[in-house]
Amino acid sequence: MTSSLLTPDFNSYPSRKVENLTVHLLGLEVTYDDNQKTFHLSSDLRIHAVDDETTHQITREPLISPLDIPDDLSIKDAKIINDGTVSVTWSHPVTVNDSCVSIFQTSWLYQTGLYGGIHHENDLENETWEAKEFNNIISIDGNDYLGNNESFKKMLQTIIKFGVVVIKGLPVKESMLEEVVSKIGTIRSSNFGKIFDVKFKNDPDSNAYTGEELLVHNDLSTREYVPGLQFLYCIENETNGGLSTLTDAFAVAKYIKKKNIGIYNLLSEYPMSFANKSASSDYRIDLPIFNHDNKGKLSEVRWTCWLRSPLRGELSYMKKVHDAQKYFYKLANESRFKVEFKLNPGDMMCMDNRRILHGRTSFLGNSGSRWLRGCYMERDELWSAYRVSERS
């Protein structure tokens, strides 16, 4: 079967050399020159073949499904036809003109068989940081960010790893926030609008719009999905105070887990009630402060102290929960974990809003102007932008 495609997607994969192929009753076993093995179920492999009758040559999506695959489909033969491809001969046709032969790139078999869609050798594991390590996290030059793809990719990678990056020295203009973040993905709107301005207001609907100190928190803890990313771009900052603060809540959680597993478990179990306070919206959610993915890995810290609702339950249990959240909050605001720095006009903080807690020191409303612009985005916009940047 013919195809102009090499793989059923838009990605490029590092080449792999195959040492051996073994055909099993249910599928194919591939052994590579680094001794790794991949296994491919016949019916699934046939669906993902790039044949022009079974994969759309423009969208690259499959045109067939499990419903089109005979129950007894098997592999009659498999051979390496050159260093980069494997030819598979099938027992049954699945379309009228099916030649029963499909070609697979060894690089695609290796990558998707072992790791899924992203190049596994890239260093993207979370690396937690405490305050003393914050300065090791790279910041990005604003001029580079706008015109340099390597710099853009480095920025995405830094957010994935460390949860935060600061872009310094962007041009100072109101439209800059949207211009910069749109390079990554689609902005998520909220009850504060698509873009919100953090300024002192005489009639505030959030503590953010006062000059009060804000201890570290994430935004929109009351929502079903806490926005995965937050961007804060400084346009003016002439106040006496109003320093930005950041804490890696994953580092705090790691510390608590090591020091007191009982408290860690309590913060991972107790469904804390969060509710926003507004005349025009009433978002509520009951979820733990520490949330984990389906592999048991910490994936989200949900915490906005002033949006908590009263605790419920038996008195001694509530006392334990109260003490546990106090312990966490105290640590998150200690100098061991929290950094404090001034955002200058043109600087932008890009944060994983489910991991990095942010805040600010207090300032007097009449001590000078302070104007930050902000917006939200989902985490998967970040990952999508990163994967696309990897294709070149």
* Contact set with Fe ion (CB under 5 A): 219
Exposure string (b/e) for 363-391, b if CB count within 10 Å is 16 or more?
beeeeeebbbbbbbbbbebbbebbbebbe
Nearer to Fe ion, 113 or 227 (CB): 227
Minimum CB separation from Fe ion for residue 326, in Å? 20
Residue 147's CB is within 10 A of a number of other CB atoms, namely: 8
Q: How far apart are CA 117 and CA 104, in angstroms?
A: 16
DSSP state of 295: T
φ/ψ of 303, rounded to 5, equals -160, 110
Nearer to Fe ion, 51 or 219 (CB): 219
Nearer to Fe ion, 105 or 245 (CB): 245
Residue 339's CB is within 10 A of a number of other CB atoms, namely: 20
Minimum CB separation from Fe ion for residue 198, in Å? 8
Residue nearest to Fe ion (CB): 219
Contact 102, 88 (CB under 8 A): yes
Minimum CB separation from Fe ion for residue 373, in Å? 13
Minimum CB separation from Fe ion for residue 358, in Å? 6
Q: How far apart are CA 26 and CA 43, in angstroms?
A: 8
Nearer to Fe ion, 219 or 300 (CB): 219
Minimum CB separation from Fe ion for residue 233, in Å? 14
Q: Measured between alpha carbons, how far is residue 97 from residues 1, 57, 78 in Å?
A: 8, 16, 20
β-pair type (164-168, 140-141): parallel
Q: How far apart are CA 357 and CA 337, in angstroms?
A: 10
Query: Could you give the angle at the alpha carbon of 229 between the alpha carbons of 223 and 234, nearest 5°?
Result: 115
Minimum CB separation from Fe ion for residue 289, in Å? 16
Q: How far apart are CA 60 and CA 5, in angstroms?
A: 8
Nearer to Fe ion, 157 or 245 (CB): 245
DSSP state of 358: E
Nearer to Fe ion, 73 or 252 (CB): 252
Minimum CB separation from Fe ion for residue 334, in Å? 19
Nearer to Fe ion, 109 or 272 (CB): 272
